[in-house]
A and B are shown apart, each in its own frame.
Chain A
């Protein structure tokens, strides 16, 4: 079974721009969660989608948004990028929502200049 894939792997954007990251979950998994990882803040939960609905949301500003499609693929969008948004963005999929074990993709490294 193919693992979680994330595209692109690396991205460089300018402050003020917006960016869209993509995540394809493991086949059969219906839940997708997104995390931001930085050296200072560690791993922080962004949001979780299950069956195209946002089920849970972390403490991030409204500039961070996401969606999930009927095939369970997910995208997250960050608008009006700030320097502090530079991070590794990790996507994780699981069979069901909430407490299930999660399988992570390799991440997208976003650098904002």
Chain B
């Protein structure tokens, strides 16, 4: 069975600072991994995905994530935070069905 753990339910950064949202997964088979973002009162929007191939994945809005099999991690990063990045972020792992982490709320301070 697969599962996802997101470390830190709340992360606060200053505008222009590095964003790092942590995700560790558990899967008995090679996983498909995803990051989604949710803005208030909206559904989830796909940021990026890893299926196979290159382990560094680039997504929308300047985000990227690196799949590290040895660490069972898929952390999300962005070099410079923008106010508009404030939202909730979900990591997900998929094999037969999609399993989501508990989410990390990102706050960006001016």
Contact = CB atoms under 8 A, between A and B. Distances in A.
A92 B43 CA distance: 9
Contacts of A42: 100-103
A103 B102 CA distance: 19
Contacts of B42: 106-107
Interface stretch (A63-71, A75-83, A94-102): A94-102
A103 B32 CA distance: 15
Interface SS of chain B: helix, strand, loop or mixed? strand
In which size bucket is the chain B interface?
Answer: 20 to 34
Contacts of A92: 43-44, 98
Given A43-B90, A106-B42, A101 B49 contact: yes
Given A98-B94, A101-B34, A90 B43 contact: yes
A99 B102 CA distance: 19
Contact of B46 (A48, A103, A106): A103
Given A99-B32, A101-B34, A107-B43, A48 B97 contact: yes
A26 interface: no
Interface in B40-80: 41-46, 49, 51
Interface of B: 32, 34, 36, 41-46, 49, 51, 90, 94-103
Interface of A: 4, 33, 35, 42-43, 45, 48, 56, 58, 90, 92, 98-107, 109
